[in-house]
Amino acid sequence: MLTDAEIDELLSSFDQTFPSRLRAYAMVRCLIDLGLRSSEVVKLQLDDINWAGGTIKLVGTKSRRADALPLPSATGAAIAAYLHEERPATSNRAIFVRQNRLRPRASNARYWPATEDVDGCEPASTFSATAWPADFCALARR
């Protein structure tokens, strides 16, 4: 459990040089403000947010129920900033996607796409310690 000071430190650690900072910041806001599990955050779909009603729908949760939660303004603002400024254009309906890059195949110097998704985006299916600021990783290890 993080203290209020640690949460403030975490939220302020996403500086301009951090790659995919808006995506990571919005995901952390979902974790902190909504109390979601990481698996629930990565399953969020664009249609799950009711912007006019200020709610977010959770489907396929551990309880196997569909729940609607109030969407805090800070969380909504973080998601909106990510959607407008950083999310790649894609037909994928997941809120949090990552841009696939070509990566080297271990056996030779050829390259291949990370997934078969036609527009180069896939759902953010996992959290990776390498995707977070070093400060966050240090906090998480405490």
Rg (CA), the chain: 16
Instruction: Provide the domain count of the chain.
Output: 1
Beta carbons of 121 and 93 less than 8 angstroms apart: no
The answer to pTM > 0.85 is no
Residues 72-118: pLDDT tens digits?
999 999 999 999 999 998 999 999 998 765 555 455 444 444 443 43
Could you give the CA distance from residue 95 to residue 11 in angstroms, rounded to a whole number?
20
Residues 39-76: pLDDT tens digits?
899 999 999 999 999 999 988 666 666 689 999 999 99
Could you give the CA distance from residue 26 to residue 11 in angstroms, rounded to a whole number?
10
Show the domain range for 52. Answer: 4-141
CATH of the domain at 46: 1.10.443.10
Q: Which of 19, 11, 6 is nearest to 131 (CA)?
A: 19
Could you give the CA distance from residue 76 to residue 51 in angstroms, rounded to a whole number?
8
